[in-house]
Amino acid sequence: MIPKFACRPSEAGFTLIEVVVALTIVALGIVTVLEIFSLGLRLSARSTEVSQARLDGQSIMDEALVYASSQAAQEQGSFVSGNRWRLRTAGAETPFASLGSPWELKEINVEVRYQDGSREKRLELKTLTLSKKANP
């Protein structure tokens, strides 16, 4: 007679194949979740770099608009963040320039170069401003 607490071979537990299949499924799930987190971190870092470049460019643009001179100019420099910038101010051609108006239209162009991973990228901001001529 078989004791009540003894198990039959088919009910004794998991087979080796079942354990290997279960571990494979769990491993694939973990790898997938880690890839998703990795992609999220890369996108977050890229977004931070682009946002910093935009803020840097906007600060140079604001400064150029406040201290705009009537002369064409080109300046360049770098930020603490490591981004480099170049500012170009030039008179914009308009069909009304020959009318003798005391106003002039100027184009302000700010270029910011920043690192995106191992590559350098470029962000360009442009605007127009209307100012009084120095010698009308």
Determine, yes or no, domain membership for 125. Answer: yes
pLDDT of residue 105: 83
E strand or H helix at 23, and its extent?
helix 16-66
- Number of domains into which the chain is organized: 1
* pLDDT surpassing 90 at residue 66: no
Name the token pair of 74: 């080109």
Residue 57 contacts residue 85 (beta carbons within 8 Å): yes
Please state, in angstroms and rounded to a whole number, the distance separating the CA atoms of residues 87 and 50: 18
Residue 5 within any structural domain of the chain:
no
Domain assignment of residue 7, yes or no: no
Q: Which residues constitute the domain of residue 68?
A: 15-93+102-132
Angstrom distance (rounded) from CA 31 to CA 12? 31
CATH of the domain at 51: 3.30.1300.30
Tell me the mean pLDDT in the region 24-43.
90
- How far is 109 from 127, CA to CA, in rounded Å? 7
* Structure confidence by residue, pLDDT tens digits, 105-119: 888 999 999 988 788
Q: What is the pTM of this model?
A: 0.64
